[in-house]
Amino acid sequence: MAPPGTRLSTGTQRGVVAVRSRSQASVRLDDGVILYSEPGQDPSAQHQAHYGNFRVQAGQPAVLENDAVEFEVAHSSATLARKAVNIRLVGVQGGRDGARPGTPEPSAPELPPPGAERLLGRIVQTKKEFGFIRQLDRPGDIFFHFSQLQGIPPDQVTPGLEVEYGVRRDAKGQLSAVGVTPAPPGSVVFEVVAPEVLAG
């Protein structure tokens, strides 16, 4: 639900928590920041949406810095401010020092079962230890953790890199890319549809 005096944008956004909210869930204070890129725009053009823990969906854990999240954006008509609402955790931060209590350390890349479908895509966004792949044959972007990289050094994982991957659904029903390997250059070609109508 959108806060009073705001309107919700259409569709769900994906982003990364840049500054975690330190307020209690019972306090209506937007003291955290989520960075995200608008779909169809340059991935390097980052937007900020402020949030508070009271905006995280019920039953979800509090989100921490570098966590990947999905959310809706509420735009204020008076101040033009952006608020992240209906926030859902889609990927936890990694690293020994910042791991969420009870979260196991990432292990070796998970291999899809033999004969499993391999998909193609292009990396569109990366953060410290995770990123998102724009899928060639499916709508939306898919989350991946650097622990799932095979044959790609983490320092070479940049937006624009073409990859092949399998898909795993976790116990909560969330999809993520597994067994991420480099794809032959030029194998990921997205169709571009011109917005104008031509008569002939």
Dig out the tokens for 109 from the structure.
């890349």
DSSP 97-159: TTPPTTPPPP-SPPPPPTT---EEEEEEEE-SSEEEEEESSSSSEEEEEGGGBSS--GGG--T
CB 128 within 8 A of CB 195: no
Please state, in angstroms and rounded to a whole number, the distance separating the CA atoms of residues 89 and 173.
Answer: 12
CB 120 within 8 A of CB 188: yes
Residues 45-69 have pLDDT tens digits of 778 888 888 888 888 777 888 888 8
Please state, in angstroms and rounded to a whole number, the distance separating the CA atoms of residues 154 and 182.
Answer: 12
Same fold, 6-91 and 119-182: yes
- The domain 6-91 having CATH identifier 3.40.1050.10: the answer here is no
Residues 65-112 have pLDDT tens digits of 888 889 988 887 777 788 989 999 888 764 434 445 444 444 445 555
- The domain 119-182 having CATH identifier 2.60.40.10: the answer here is no
In this prediction the pTM is: 0.46
Domain positions in the chain are 6-91, 119-182
Question: Which own/partner pairs from 170-174 qualify as long-range (CB within 8 Å, at least 24 positions apart)?
Answer: 174/90, 174/143
Q: Which residues contact 31 (CB under 8 A, 6 or more apart)?
A: 19, 21, 22, 23, 50, 52
